[in-house]
Amino acid sequence: MLLTLENINTYYGLSHILQGVSLEVDSREIVTLVGRNGAGKTTTLKSILGIAPISSGRIRFQDTDISALPTHSIIQKGIAYVPEDRRIIPGLTVRENLKLALMKSKNRDREEEMIDRVAQYFPILKDRLKQEGTSLSGGEQQMLAIARALVTDPEIMLIDEPTEGLMPLLVETIAEIIQTIHSNGVTVLLVEQNMEMALSISHRAYVIDEGRIQTSGDARAILNDEEIACKYLAV
């Protein structure tokens, strides 16, 4: 397994949010984590990254226990994060946003090569390198957020609700981009509320509710199951 979460527990203050979450992602998989608002999806990603430190359990990446590592070390091992709120840095151009991500990665000396790579994936960003990142449209900002993760050459990308608030055509574009990234060798752990999108690109799925994994399996079986949808996914 590339990434394994074993019985992790995560608190925010006194609130016990993740209550024994276990999941695994194999190399070259696209795995989706689904669940209603407040179920613990983002907290799971933040726990992997050490942003929301776990209080017990174990997280392994490749053959290393990363449970107690600081976030920057986890990222340097090849885990990239595309946060739900995109977090484009105000006042910086598109290029500067990408450069900032590069500075913290092993690719810091390969700026032009990485910008070229971004341009291949996202021609629209190539034309906007000098534009302020926060002036981009919602869809373009999502592309920039994904591009920022991509330039670090990750083994795995943790992508939190990339299609939230986007119109259907852009949802399709984002789905295609994730598939291209995957076909170039990157493993993906996706959080998605858009079942159709998740189903169209995932191999396996986990359902989380109230901080616990309720069920998991083949993406088609999970995401097409009406009983599961009714019990765990209805808001």
Ligand X SMILES: Nc1ncnc2c1ncn2[C@@H]1O[C@H](COP(=O)(O)OP(=O)(O)OP(=O)(O)O)[C@@H](O)[C@H]1O
Interface positions with Mg ion (CB under 5 A): 41-42, 84
Binding of residue 15 to ligand X (CB under 6 A): yes
Task: Report how far apart, in Å, the C-alpha atoms of 4 and of each of 35, 48, 62, 118, 205 are.
Answer: 19, 9, 9, 29, 15
Partner whose binding site includes residue 17, from ligand X, Mg ion, none (CB under 5 to 8 Å by kind): ligand X
Sheet of strand 64-65: strand arrangement: 15-25, 3-12, 54-61, 64-65
Binding of residue 42 to ligand X (CB under 6 A): yes
Quick one: which segment of 36-44, 74-82, 101-109, 128-136 binds ligand X (CB under 6 A)? 36-44
Site for ligand X in 82-141 (CB under 6 A): 84
- Select from 32, 43, 142, 202 the one that contacts ligand X (CB under 6 A): 43
Partner whose binding site includes residue 12, from ligand X, Mg ion, none (CB under 5 to 8 Å by kind): ligand X
Quick one: which segment of 41-49, 121-129, 130-138, 176-184 binds ligand X (CB under 6 A)? 41-49
| Interface ranges with ligand X (CB under 6 A) | 12, 15, 17, 35, 37-43, 84
